[in-house]
Amino acid sequence: MATLPQITIYRPLETSPDDWVASLMAKNPPEGFHFLHQKKGCVFSMATLDKYIDNEERYGIQPLETPNDQALKTMSSGEQKKALLTHLLQMEPDFMVLVDPYDNLDTISTERLKRYFHELSKTMILIQIISRITAAFHFSTQFYAFHHTLLQPFTSVQELHHYVLSTKNIQAITIPDPLFSPKTLGEELVSFHKVSVSFGNKKVLHQVDWTVKHGEFWHLVGPNGSGKSTLLQMITGDSTKAYGQEIYLFNKQKGTGESVWEIKKHLGYFTASMTTTFRGYDNLIHMLIAGLHDAIGLYVKPTETEIRLAMSWLRTIGLYPKREQQFRQLNEGEKRLLMTARAMIKHPPLLILDEPAIGLDDRYTKLLVDLINTFAEKSKSALIYVSHKQEKGLTPKYRLTLTPTPQGSKAKVG
């Protein structure tokens, strides 16, 4: 039997593959893919999954088989993708388009899915569209990159990799000084002593000890469902599970009368989902200045000093030429850079970056990692970078790893 073609396509964030994929699904493949003419295909992607979740919530329709008829929204990313893949295979397609299939997955789930796709490639054509070149299948036989709406061919994954890495980087990053010297809050900013958390019968954290000191750069890492979000929410004030525990935040024991807003004024915080919570009609200058006031929008006239500081940050992240544009006009990579700078602008005592690079392509991941490393080195802020995988190029000095056990996740420093 002839070997089936297996295809890897790299897409930069500013390029949408939607029209190209739609032509495949309409059984009218673009030039170079005529071997798919009249073939039946399906799409494995977060967009496909989101449609099923939306239908489930709106209409009570549950087209995907799940264990004990569990709602998709309540499942982990790995469980959701397993249910989607099972459903798509039941359609008996001739080929499958996989759009960033490993996004939102921890290392173990990623490796498991890689092995499964390798087996699947023996009987089905797989077309992988990725924004991270390290996610490329090792068994691919054809390689392309989106250039605007066209596909540029490459002879090997090495040639494609070289093309991806030849894109621009931020040069000579300079971190602007804060408007005011950060308030001194003592040596220990966060301290957890034997902290355990459960939700009903589900044990999440077990006897966690963790101390974050002034100026330290931490990587909080753990697989999906290991309790990273729970741990963060006890720091940010968004979880009642912190009460009654031996937790100290900014020199105060949790539950001794501090307000959520008192906690948040000492924090800079960004998570990738925040880019969708902003209406996006403010220009980039105002978006950054709002970060000085811990506000979603800018409701007061900015001072000349604030405007100059915002301009300096826009030069640092390479967005100065777009300073008058609205936030919604940026691509996703530019939005992440801006929102990260927004969290940094006041040089908070503690900066938390929760999965800031998830879903980004290689170029914007490199820009973001360079910015974070430089800020950690040049500022006096403590920094917690949260992810479920190691991030290439990131240089934290300390690491807290959460490992699930039947008693809840245990924490290990090192």
Rg over alpha carbons for the chain, rounded to the nearest Å, is 23
Nearest to 328 by CA among 338, 320, 343: 338
- Whole-structure pTM value: 0.83
pLDDT at site 307: 95
Is the pLDDT reported for residue 140 higher than 70? yes
What average pLDDT does this structure show over 155-162?
91
| Residue 170: predicted pLDDT | 52
Considering the chain, what is the average pLDDT of its residues? 89
For 354-387, write each residue's pLDDT tens digit: 999 988 888 899 899 999 999 999 999 999 999 9
pLDDT 10s digits, 179-234:
987 777 778 999 999 999 998 888 999 999 999 999 999 999 998 889 998 999 99
Lowest mean pLDDT of 105-109, 206-210, 274-278, 397-401, name the range.
Answer: 274-278
Find how far residue 338's CA is from the centre of its chain.
14
- When comparing pLDDT for 48 and 242, which is higher? 48
Q: Which residues contact 362 (CB under 8 A, 6 or more apart)?
A: 131, 132, 133, 134, 164, 165, 167
pLDDT for position 204: 92
DSSP assignment of 177-197 equals PPSSPPPP--SEEEEEEEEEE
pLDDT at 262: 81
| Calpha distance 262→52 (Å, rounded) | 40
Nearest residue to 290 via CA among 173, 263, 277, 174: 277
- CA distances for 390 relative to 53, 107, 164, 192, 386, angstroms: 29, 9, 20, 24, 10
Share of the chain above pLDDT 70, in %: 97
Whether residue 299 has pLDDT greater than 70: no
Taken in order of first residue, the domains within the chain and their CATH numbers are 7-165 (3.40.50.300), 188-413 (3.40.50.300)
Q: Which residues contact 405 (CB under 8 A, 6 or more apart)?
A: 206
Q: Quick check: 44 and 88 in contact, CB under 8 A?
A: yes
Task: State the greatest distance between any 2 C-alpha atoms of the chain, in Å, as a whole number.
Answer: 72
pLDDT of residue 221: 94
Q: Name the one residue in this structure whose structure tokens are 């991806």.
A: 164
> Rounded distance, CA 36 to CA 87, Å?
21
- With the C-alpha atoms ordered 165, 107, 4, 80, is the resulting torsion angle positive or negative? negative
In 3D, which of 222, 346, 176, 352 has the Cα closest to residue 274? 352
Backbone phi and psi for residue 52, each to the nearest 5 degrees, phi listed first: -65, -40
Sign of dihedral through CA atoms 30, 31, 37, 43? Answer: negative
Stretch 80-86: mean pLDDT, rounded? 90
Taking phi first (over 0 means left), then psi (-120 to 50 degrees means alpha), and beta for anything else, what does residue 412 get?
beta
- Residue range 396-411: mean pLDDT, rounded: 96
